Amino acid sequence: MDRERLLEVAAGVDAGVAARLRFVTELDRLKGIVRQTPVLDGERLENSAEHSWHVAMTAWALAPLADEPLDLDRVIRILLVHDIVEIDAGDVFIYDTAGREAVVAAEEAAAERIFGLLPAGEGAEMRALWDEYERRSTPEGRFAYACDRLQPLLANVAGGGGSWARHGVTAERVKAINGRMAEGSGRLWEVAEAILDACIDEGLLE
């Protein structure tokens, strides 16, 4: 039984369940989106579903380090949805400025389509969380973004340079992008910057 037949059977019993199952089964595609960041042992690249889980757990563990009081459940929900648009738009390397600018419209369209699979109120709630991450308009959005910058930084360092080394990303560029972490947690950025300085001293970053 393929996916469409599965959903057809479900709709014959309960259309509301079927609509939610369409969304849930669509999310499986996120497991196939390969990112530039390696897993910590460097043996392979992570996928976007793994990343979303890992960064949500990162935020949970590091929440006491946020600069502002947080609704932690909201932070975790933001991180669980923040990369769903990559199902349609793909993963664009954070250091690819032109690529990031070009994909904005594709990500907006992806958000409309994917969150639109859910019943209206539920889809709108998830879409609002995605927007909150993109705009970093709340303490939760800013801390979610900080954790989303920290997780790949740690993986690249542990992996001997990871995507930085493969793409020739300079220390100046790494600091410029990841310095935005300070918007959500000055303490996290202070530690991250010390790690980056050590990478420069040890020749891991140019």
- The torsion defined by the Cα of 136, 86, 47 and 40, in degrees rounded to 10, comes to -30
Global pTM reads 0.93
Domain total of the chain = 1
pLDDT tens-digit series, residues 150-190:
999 999 999 888 888 888 999 999 999 999 999 999 999 99
Can you give the residue range of the structural domain that contains 182?
33-201
Closest listed residue to residue 127, CA positions, set 85, 170, 169, 155: 85
Q: How many CB atoms lie within 10 A of CB 195?
A: 14
3-state DSSP assignment of residue 37: strand
Residue 96 pLDDT more than 90?
Answer: no
pLDDT for 97 equals 80
pLDDT tens-digit series, residues 8-36:
999 899 999 999 999 999 999 999 999 98
Q: What is the CATH number of the domain that holds 57?
A: 1.10.3210.10
Closest listed residue to residue 89, CA positions, set 29, 164, 177: 29
Residue 99 pLDDT more than 80?
Answer: no
Could you tell me if 131 and 5 are in contact, meaning their C-beta atoms sit under 8 angstroms apart?
A: no
Q: Does residue 45 form part of some domain?
A: yes
Strands 34-38 and 45-47: antiparallel
Q: Does residue 9 form part of some domain?
A: no
